[in-house]
């Protein structure tokens, strides 16, 4: 089967590529665009390591076909820092050691930012349920929760 030409915007830049039949958006981002910050932990939407923003909506890139991303606006972890300035979530992950092995970290950061975009002051319980789709096997979540709560507080200007 022939591949399909697609055009997507990723972190503000336009990319063209050929999506293979059956190819996931995750594979397209990683293997065709070489943006390997978006991770694959399961390929079935269960671990959240491939979390991206797709047209403003938090999405597991492994559950979307690459062809579906034609004309879409995508944000990945690579677009989170502004120049040399880390996003507060990224900084707080570093300060609290919210990232141990780091494989789940991009997914957690993208997911956490999606919550802060609509709720600047989540409770601990809201955080825990919002992040329940992201698996971490290293931290026990303690330092991740502290990091995102601290980042939210800083972003509220406290």
Partner 1 sequence: MPDDSFDQRYIPKEHRFVGTTPIKQDGTDKVTGRAVFGADTHLPGMLVGKVLRSPHAHAEIISIDTSKAETVKGVKAVCTSADFPDIGNGMFADISTNCMARGKALYDGHAVAAVAATSEAAAKEALKLIDVEYKVLPHVIDAKEAAAKDAPILHPGRRPKGMEIDYDTNITERGEWKMGDVEAGFAEADFIVEDEYVTQPMHQGYIEPQACVANYTEDGQAELWTCTQSPWVFRLRMSEILKMEVSRIKVTPSELGGAFGGKTSFYADPLAVVLSRKAQRPVKIVLTRGEVLRSTGPVSGIHTRVKIGMTKDGKFTAAEGEVYMQSGAFAGAGLVNALTGMLCRYSTPNVHTFGFEVASNRPKVNAFRAPNVPQTCFAVEGVIDTLSKQSGIDPLDLRLKNAAAEGFKNLHGETFGPIGFVDVIEAAKKHPQYSAPLGPNQGRGVAAGFWFNRGGETTASVNLSSDGTVNVMLGTPDVAGSRISMSLMVAEELGIDPGRVRTRLADTSALGYNHSSAGSRVTFSSGLAVIECTRKCIATVCKRAADTWGIDADSVAYEDGVVRPAGANAGDFEPLTLADICGKAASQGGAIAGHAEIVAKGAGPGFAIHICDIDVDPQTGFTKILRYAVIEDCGKAIHPHQVEGQYQGAAVQGIGWALNEEYIYNDKGVMENPSFLDYRMPVASDLPMIDAVIIEVPNPNHPYGVRGVGEVPLTPTMAAVGNAIGNAIGVRPKSLPMSPPKLLKLMEENELPVAAE
By CB under 8 A, name the binding residues for partner 1. 20-23, 27, 30-31, 34-44, 46-47, 49, 76-78, 80-81, 86, 90, 93-97, 99-106, 109, 125, 127-129, 131-146
Q: How far is the CB of 15 from partner 1 (least distance, A)?
A: 16
Residue 59 CB, shortest distance to partner 1, in Å, is 16
Q: How many residues does the chain have?
A: 158
Least Å distance, CB 75 to partner 1, is 12
Closest to partner 1 by CB, 72 or 146: 146
Give CA–CA dist 29/88, Å, rounded: 25
Looking at beta carbons only, is 70 or 103 nearer to partner 1?
103
Exposed e or buried b per residue across 71-103, where buried means at least 16 C-beta atoms within 10 angstroms of its C-beta: ebebbbbbbbeeeeeebbbbbbbeebebbeeeb
41/71 with CB nearer partner 1: 41
CA 25/CA 51 separation, integer angstroms: 11
Of residues 69 and 87, the one with the C-beta less far from partner 1: 87
Question: What does the DSSP 8-state code read for residue 23?
Answer: -
Cross-strand partners of 27: none
């Amino acid at each position: 089967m022939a591949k399909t030409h697609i055009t997507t915007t990723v972190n503000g830049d336009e990319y063209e590529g050929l999506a293979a039949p059956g190819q996931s958006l995750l594979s397209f981002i990683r293997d065709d665009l070489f943006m390997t910050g978006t991770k694959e932990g399961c390929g079935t939407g269960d671990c959240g390591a491939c979390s991206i923003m797709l047209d403003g909506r938090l999405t597991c890139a492994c559950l979307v076909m690459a062809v579906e991303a034609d004309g879409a606006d995508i944000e990945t972890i690579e677009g989170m820092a502004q120049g040399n300035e880390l996003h507060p979530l990224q900084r707080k992950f570093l300060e609290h050691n919210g990232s141990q092995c780091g494989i789940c970290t991009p997914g957690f950061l993208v997911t956490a930012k999606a919550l802060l975009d609509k709720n600047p002051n989540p409770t601990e319980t809201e955080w825990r349920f919002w992040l329940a789709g992201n698996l971490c096997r290293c931290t026990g979540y303690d330092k991740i929760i502290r990091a995102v709560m601290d980042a939210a507080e800083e972003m509220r200007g406290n």
